Structure formats: structure tokens, C-alpha cells
Structure 1
Amino acid sequence: MTKVERTMKAAILIQQWYRRYLARMEVRRRYTWTIFQSIEYAGEQDQIKLYNFFNALLTHMPDPAARGVGSDVSSKSSTATTSPNFEDEVEDCVSISTLDNVYKGIHINSPLTRQDLDALIESFRKKKQHRLHAKYVASILKDAIAHLKRLPNLNQASTAISKQITICGDLHGKLEDLLVVFHKNGLPSAENPYVFNGDFVDRGKKGLEVLLLLLACLLVFPDGVYLNRGNHEDLIMNARYGFVREMKTKYKQNSDRLLKLIEGVYRWLPLGAVVNNKVLVVHGGVSDATDLDWVRSLDRYKYVSLLRPPVSDSTASGAEVVDKMEWKQVFDVLWSDPQNLEGCVPNTLRGAGTYFGPDVTDRFLEKHKLMFVVRSHECKTGGYEIAHGGKLITIFSASNYYELGSNKGAYVKLVGPQLDPHFVQFTTAAARTKKLTFRQRVGLVESSALRELSGKVLAARESLLDEFRKADPDGTGFITVTEWCSAMESRTGLTIPWRMLREKLVSQDPVSKNVEYMTTFQEHLPGKKASEATVVETLYRNKSSLEAIFRIIDKDNSGYISKEEFADACALLEQHLQNPFSKEQQLDICRSMDINKDGMVDLNEFLETFRLVDMAPHDGDDADDSSPG
């Protein structure tokens, strides 16, 4: 070959190699993303399943006194019911510790001014800031509640003055992302309005700062800020995903009273916004039952949590149906996800809300004379996604959500009379990751995903071993790849590309290519940091009731609940529940409570599982705390 021919052939070979390299990197990125998302949704599903189970126990189990147990089980009302003294409790929360000479943080006014907002931003921006005093936190929360109470369920946003509006998705305690948005797009005002579409807290370390900053913007620029409720504006979710722990760490003795105020904020947050009567902005989405007229007229304040439908005190079945149908209206707009297939089906992946197809979106928009829907609720690699023929936009504003480098954040600006969407992407990756190559960044995210996955696999060890041994009746220690993949999917509940991942998770025989299934439980990657693995601590508000219930279920007084005894308890509940637990759900719940995986549930495991799903905050120490923390 001539020199030119050799050069051309070399260039073609390099190009082919590079394309294969990019394809391999894309495959790794996609399965990593699938792992993260599957684990996230499985966690939400477990949360809802366990919470419903414990609520059913506390509501419907027979009185222990009648069984001779000696402890009363209180009939627990729905989380949707409210205490008649809640407003008084909120007022009491404001009488939080006075300032003293120890406090070195900023001082702000009530009502807040623009100068206060600037001082708040500057204080939060500093890495070693003095924590805002609990008295000022309570003041912002109380003023926000008073303002939010005056707002409708669906805010009416307008671009008549601004000619544009900015919509931000989930922030999840990522203060740096919020500050980047303000830096790139400017602070809110009547001339620069924002819609913040829920999920302000949880997972990130600065949830309180994000929430306070958004509320402060709302109070200073009431015509320039619209806040929507998300599915994480829910103290039950906060108890599992970190915000309650954050509050108890930052404001130790005042955390219960501050959380009571935050509960008031959640309950008064609007459920959505309508821009120029053309675009609906809600956190989750819609369903085939969503009716905006109904959403506008319902009492949003009574929904303390969306994780359980309200239970009517009335014995009339009609009243209960109305309550649950109304609850579904709220649940669907906060928890639903789109799908490519037509129709509307229960969201089995999250365990809550619906999957709605393009036909459902079309009918909804036609019914309410809208152009398109903007929603959040799902992390996207680029920070946004356009679906359903351009009529559904997902916007997600928390960058590096799963791991550094896992995704970009984004916000969308609706511009002009037709509200044309313009997307802006950003990331707040740490300085150390900016120097990494593309391959190194993919490897970093992949390693984190595999660590998460290994934890889930180890948690399902006993169940997996049962399945493996069924496929290996001769005890050879080997099963086929297909059998291994089937067992992994069925027993972990995670729908991910197991066949593609097998080389990273398990050893194979080099000749037969069969899987040596015991190596599934080896630690292939370094373990997770303890600080990341811990779960928020909440109080045993119902400890005496739960101990009594445990003794009822433990019919042979062995100190352990067996699977058979647990099934009997579920059978007892079936007569009270419209949707009783299936046999598979019973086993899943029992396995979830069996923390040490010995096949039985003792009292400590029973209480511990309840602690992880119980509501927060609880009535706690009301002693004054003069320090900001």
C-alpha cells in the first residue's frame, strides 16, 4: 500500500476502534443507570409496602386486652386526619429559644427583606457558615405557612410581565445546584418568575438550606415564586431518606418543633401550577382519573402524608369511596410516571401512583384545553426528557443525583406567547472529578452502582440460596447462566441486565460457562461507607402497641414470629382490608423484617422495621435550646 492508503486504513481502524469504545462506555453507562434507578424504586416500593402493613396492624388488630395480653392497642387514625390543635401546636413551635451571646450567625427580620435574602444566600454559600438560629428558622417557616394558606391548590402563573418563566425540578437537598441556577438565571422576581416543582429535600445534605432559601424567595418575591408539593414533601418519606436525620443533627433539641412547622409547610404547599392557562406543572404527572376541577376544590391541608389513603370514620361505604377517590387525585399528580405504551396502569415499579401513556396525556390536555405538561419526579441523564410527542416534559435539577458524574441537572425556560421550552443543563461536579477522563468517570459511577447492588444481593442471600439449590438438586455448586439470571431477578425484585452483569458479580466455569452460584455473595467491591448506609432514627411512638401486637402474632410465645404465624396475622387482617396482601407480598414483608436473615422475626427486628417506616416527627423533648444547633 502507498503511504496515503496506509494512512487512510489506519484512520478507518482508529475510527472503528473509537466507535466500539464509545459503544462499550454507553452500554456501561446505561446498565449503571438501570441499577441505580431500579434500587431507588425498589426502596420506595418497600417503604410503601411496610408502611401500609404497619398501619393495617395498628388499625385493625384486635384489642390485646381482650386477648389477655395486658396492653392496649390504640386504634390509629389515618395519616390524612389532622389534630384539632395543630394550629396551636404550630404557634407553640415559634416560641423557640431566644438569642444569646453565643450565636454568631446572621440576623434576619420578619417579614423578610431583599437584604435578608441576600444575607441568607451568602451565609449558606459559605462552607463553614454559622448555622442559622432555630428562632429564625421557625420564623421563616411560620411566615411561609401563613402565606401558603392563602394560595389555591393550583397556582395561576402568568408571563404577562416577564414574557418567560423558569421551571426547576427535583433539588433533593443539593444547595449547590440551586445556587448555580440562581447564578446562571438570576434571582426570582416578578420579571423573572420561577416554578419549583417539588422534592426540595431528602438524599442531599443541605435539604433544610434549600427549603429555607426557597421559602425566603417566596416571602420576598411572592409574585415571582411558585412552589409545588412533591412526593418527598412528606415526613414519612423524610424519615427514610434523610431529612429527618438532617434536622435532628442540625437542631438537636428543637428538631421536633421545627419538623412540626415543616409539616405545616408541606400540607399547605400547592399541588401544582398552571402557566397562562396553557401549561400544567405538577411533580409526578396525571392519570386517566385526574380531574383538575376536583384538584382545585379539595382540602389539601388534610393530607399529612400520601402513603396511605384516608380512612373515613363513617360506616357508609359511599363516604369512604369519596375519600379514597379524592386521595387518588392527589396521589396521582405527585407519584405518577409516564410510559411509552398507551393506557394507564398501576405503577408497580414504585409501588404507588400510575404509569400513564401518550393517549392519557392527549385526552387530559384536550379535556382541560392545555398545550403540554411539565413534570419532574424522575432523574434523567441529561437533566430533562421530552416524551409523548412533545406534550410531556420531565425536568430534573439535581445533578450528580446517584453519584458524581451520574447525571446533569437542568431547568427549562418557557418563552414567548407559545411558551416554547428552552433547556439549560449544568453540573456541580467536584473539582477532583473534573480532571478524570470519560472512562474514569464512567468507572466511578459504575463502581458505586455495583456496591449498591451488592448490598441488595447480600440482603436477599437466603432467598437466593433457596432458588439456586432448587436449580442444583445434585449439589454441584453450579447452575446455568439462565437459571442464575432468573433467580436474581425473581428474588431481588430488580429488573436489570443480569446476564450482562454476571462477569462482575459471579464466577463462571471456564469450560462449561456455568455459574458458581456461591460466589454471588462474595464482596467484589469495597463496602459502602457507614455514614451512607445508616438510616434515620425515629422514636417508637407506638412501642407499647407494637409489643402487644408482636405477642398476639407470636402464638406459641417463642419470642419469634415464624412465616406461618405471620401468614395467620395477615389472614386476620384480610377481613378488614379492601386489598389484602397476596402470599408473595406477605413473604416479601416478612423477609424485609427479618434483618439478620435467620428465617424468623424477633421483637427487636419487628420494632426496628417499624422504626424505619414510622412517621416523623414525634412528640419529643420540648426543652428550650438556646444554641442554634
Structure 2
Amino acid sequence: MNIQDLEDMGCGTSSATKDKKSEKALKAALVIQNWYRGYRARLKTRQRYALTIFQSIEYADEQGQLQLSNFFSFMLENYTRVQEKEPGLVTRLFGSSIQDKDRQDYLGLIEVPDSYCGPRLQFPLTFTDIDLLIEAFKQQQILHAYYVLEVLFETKKVLQQMPNFTHTSTSPSKEITICGDLHGKLDDLFLIFYKMRSVLMPPIPMDGDRAEKKNKLGTTIVAQGIRTSGSFSEQLTKQEWEQVVDILWSDPRGKRGCYPNTNRGGGCYFGPDITAKILNKYQLKMLVRSHECKPEGYEICHDGKVITVFSASNYYEEGSNRGAYIRMSSGTTPRFFQYQITRATCFRPLYQRVNAIESSAIRMLKERMISRKTDLTRAFQLQDRNKSGKLSMGQWAFSMENVLGLNLPWRSLSSHLVTTDKDGNIDYMSGFQDVHIQKPVKEVQSTLIETVYRYRSDLQIIFNIIDSDHSGLISMEEFRSMWKLFKSHYSVHIDDSQFDELAERMDLNKDGSIDFNEFLKAFYVVHKFDKLNKSDNKLA
């Protein structure tokens, strides 16, 4: 063996060592990469679960809004009968609506104090007014109710001039921008304006029963005449109202056919076959719609024929979802632009952002649980035949879904809501240990407390209508009458004596009046401690 042979052997040994080190480094990199991918996937799963909670609770609240609308429809339809039984209440509920008041009559009810430091607007609005308004919003200032009311009157006037349907035309050189729900997200709106090239269309003056006009982009606008005479009931029949509900509350789903939208409580779910049938019937290529928050700001379904676009980023919570808008032109495929306006959380690590979203979602879910504590307890006990205080995971999940109707992954969420023993059985009452409703009167049945808490927003709306003099007070009799009507329509099974007892105890100074706003403040949910702030709590 000569020197060259030894050198060759040495080089070979060195090369093999380097190869082994490179192989170890590569394996280590792959292990880290796989761990990080799994870590991000778990965080994204937790984020999706939180979004599902937010959306399910939002849809359940929409059912409440529809119920409240039905309540007022019920009142109108049964006006004569209700007038005979509760004349005073009906006068308070509908008196201001029946009278023919104009804009100044309403504005005269509101005074702007000298201490108000927000924007003072002049109508019709000028560009200077708009600049003042935008700057005020940027500074988080609140617009006084007087000016809010004036803006609403101006908006009504503009909308009455605009058509129900707007026909637009495009060409390869001219694009249109399609936005979805913004929900008052001013930063998102500014971002879209900054990136889009289309112009805002001014209100279109009506000329006879039909008007047609082109804007600077060559867009054709067709405006149908709008009837303004006659009563509301004459203009909007029951069938028309049902059509409005169907348009507003219907959502696409993967299942074929058309069936009731059980999440929203109004409208329907429609499958890909329904989409294809409608598009073929009217010779259309695609349906672009909104009204559903999507994690990425948009979603494509039904073989690419239905696009959902949602333009409000951080809709439920900071970091909960992206916003998006679409650019389209003739003969091209839609282009999607995503964004997410962030302030406080933009420099936080992903796990901290997900923890914040998750904590907020679970908090809302626990409040929903406590509002139905009596019903949930009854459902748990029916399943717990041995009276052990425990249920299997399946039994608990079934009871939660059956009572709350939120269509959530209860098994995955259980670790955040209840205590589980070593055998996997759930202590079902543990879900109420760290949260409760403030009870102003301990002697009153918990069912009534929960019912008032559950419907507190609806009751407050009705109260504000009854409180026509804006005193913040209503009489005891009106308070009772309001509850009786509400209870009848909502099928609330609570003895009137229980509510009477509560009303009497809430009349602290015994003057025969109820301060309803203070009354509602008593029904806040208290969280004894918040385990969700701990970073080691995870959904996945």
C-alpha cells in the first residue's frame, strides 16, 4: 500500500463521515419540518373550531332576530284582539308608528348637548362632512344619535331612488369589483377602495316608471319604478316577505335538493342540483353571493358555480378570518384578493392569536350553556339513569346538541367545557361550576332567570318601544302586559306568578315603575375564573 492508497482511504473516510452528518442533518430538518407542520395544523384546527363556535352562535342569534320579527308581525296581525285585551300597551307599541310623523318630528325628540365633541354634520352631506365623518371614525369617536337618525333618513331617500336590481356590463379592458359583507369594518373598506379602480355610482334620479343611465365605465344601470304610495302592508305582502327572507338567509350546501335552513331559522339550504337548474333556466354562468363568514374570505362550491365572498376581516375576533374581494372582467376567470387588517395582534405569535380567538369563542359558548342550564340539566338527568352525575361522551354530546342546537364538534370541545374522569365519563354539572348568572332575587326560579337572560336583547327592544317618553321607566302593569304577550308568542312555560314576584322585587322604591335597563344589567354572566387564558389549553 503506497501513500496514494492511504490518502485515498483517508479521503474516503472523510467523505463517508460528511455524508453521515449530512444525512443526520437532513433527518433532523425533516423531523423539525414535520413537527412544525403538525403544530401549525393543530393551531389551524383550533382556529376552525373557534370559528365554528362563533358562526353557530351567530346563526342561533339570527333565529332570535327572526323570532322577534315574527313577534311584531303577530302583534300587527292580531292588532284588534290585542287592542281589546291590552289597550294601553298597544298604544305604546304602535302609537308612534300609526301617527304620520315626518323627519323633523323625530329629530325634534333628540337634543345635541353643547358638550358633544364629535362631528356636527350638515345635510345634504358635502365632501367636507364626509371627511369629518371619516376622520372621526378613525379616532374612534361616536356619532351622536341625532346625526345617526339624519343619516338613516338620507340613506332611506337614496335607496328609494335606486333599483332593486342593477345590470352591469364589462369588457376585457374593464373590470368590476365584487365585495361581500363589511359589517362596518372601515379599515377593510378603505383597503378595498385603495386597491380597486372602479368608481362609486351616484344615486340615480327616477324618471317615470323606468330609467336607464350609463356611468363613466360604460356600465348600464336599469332602474325600475318604485311605488311609494299606500301602506306598508299593501306594498309588502306575506309572499313578498317570504321571498326576501329566502334571498337573505339561504345558503349553499353539498347535499342535493332544497331543505330548511335549520341553523339560521329562515331561508333554505340549496344543493348543487338546484344551482345548476336555476343557472340553466336563466342562462347564467355563476352565482356570487355573501352573508357567510369564511376563514379565507371566500369559498368556491357547487362545481365552481357558486362563490361566497366575505369582505369583513377579523369578523368575530382579531385574527379569526381573512377578508376578500373579487375582480372580474369579460371572458376571464374571477381573481381573488385576500387581506387581514390587524392592529394589536399583528406582532403576536400564531399560538397567542389562536389562544385569544379560542378563549373568546369558548367564553361565548359557556354563556350560551348557562342560559339553558335548566334545560341542559334536565336532559343530562334523563340520560343519567343511575343518578351517578356522570354520562358517557356520546350521551353528553347528544344532550348538548339536542338542547343547544349548535351543530358543534362537542367531543373535541369537551375538554374545555367539562371534567372527564379516567374512564372517559363526564361530570356533566362541572360545565356550570366556573360561570353563573347574577341572580338579583334568589327566591325566583332559575328557569325564569335564564329565560330573561336568553331573551334580554329582544325584551330590551320591546321595552324601548314601549318607553315612548324615553324616561327609562315603564309602569308595572305595562311590564306585566309586555311579558304576557311575549311569553304567549315565544311559548315560554313560566307561571305568571313567578314573573310578578320578580317584578315586585325589582321595583326597589315601590313607586309602581320598573327601570328596565337596570333590570337587565342584573342578568349578566359572571365567569369565576378563566382557564382558557392558559397557553397549554388546546382543542387539538
Tell me, yes or no, whether TM beats 0.5. Answer: yes
Change (3 A) 1:373 1:518: same
Alignment partner of 2:431 out of 497, 520, 531: 520
Change (3 A) 1:413 1:302: farther
Aligned to 1:22: 40
Change (3 A) 1:139 1:76: closer
- SS in structure 2 of the partner of residue 434 of structure 1: coil
- SS in structure 2 of the partner of residue 457 of structure 1: helix
Q: Distance in 2 between matches of 1:178 and 1:56?
A: 38
Alignment partner of 1:497 out of 397, 409, 431: 409
Q: CA-to-partner distance for each residue in 1:471-524, whole Å, 9 max, x for gaps?
A: 2222222221111111111111111011111112111111x2211112121228
Q: CA deviation at 1:455?
A: 0.6
Aligned length: 451
Q: CA deviation at 1:7?
A: 2.2
Q: Distance in 2 between matches of 1:492 and 1:162?
A: 51
CA contact (8 A) 2:53 2:365 kept: yes
Counterpart mapping for 1:296-445 below 5 A: 323-414=237-328, 416-418=329-331, 420-431=333-344, 433-445=345-357
Change (3 A) 1:31 1:133: closer
Q: Distance in 1 between matches of 2:145 and 2:293?
A: 33
CA contact (8 A) 2:314 2:341 kept: yes
Change (3 A) 1:101 1:345: closer
Aligned to 2:174: 163
Q: CA deviation at 1:40?
A: 0.7
- SS in structure 2 of the partner of residue 436 of structure 1: coil
Counterpart mapping for 1:153-302 below 5 A: 153-159=164-170, 163-185=174-196, 192-193=198-199, 221-222=202-203
CA contact (8 A) 2:275 2:305 kept: yes
CA contact (8 A) 2:83 2:90 kept: no
Q: Distance in 1 between matches of 2:64 and 2:113?
A: 45
Q: Tell me, which stretches of 5 or more residues in structure 2 are unaligned?
A: 1-16, 205-216, 439-454, 467-473, 504-513, 521-540
Q: Distance in 2 between matches of 1:470 and 1:140?
A: 54
Q: Distance in 2 between matches of 1:178 and 1:324?
A: 35
Change (3 A) 1:383 1:303: farther
Aligned to 1:200: none
- SS in structure 2 of the partner of residue 406 of structure 1: coil
CA contact (8 A) 2:300 2:306 kept: yes
CA contact (8 A) 2:418 2:426 kept: yes
Q: CA-to-partner distance for each residue in 1:400-450, whole Å, 9 max, x for gaps?
A: 111111011122222x3236422222222223x122111111111111111
Q: Distance in 2 between matches of 1:301 and 1:370?
A: 35
CA contact (8 A) 2:251 2:269 kept: yes
- Structure 1 residues 143-152 or 481-490, which shifts more? 143-152
Aligned to 2:24: 6
Instruction: Give the TM-score, by structure 1 length.
Output: 0.60
Q: Distance in 1 between matches of 2:274 and 2:218?
A: 22
Aligned to 2:492: 590
The reply on whether 1:459 has 2:371 as its aligned counterpart is yes
Instruction: Give the TM-score, by structure 2 length.
Output: 0.69
Change (3 A) 1:156 1:132: same
Larger Rg: 2
CA contact (8 A) 2:172 2:330 kept: no
Q: Tell me, which stretches of 5 or more residues in structure 1 are unaligned?
A: 187-191, 195-217, 224-274, 281-292, 305-309, 313-318, 528-532, 554-565, 571-585, 613-629
Alignment partner of 2:397 out of 485, 504, 512: 485
Q: CA deviation at 1:105?
A: 5.7
The reply on whether 1:37 has 2:55 as its aligned counterpart is yes
Aligned to 1:557: none
Change (3 A) 1:419 1:276: farther
Aligned to 1:125: 138
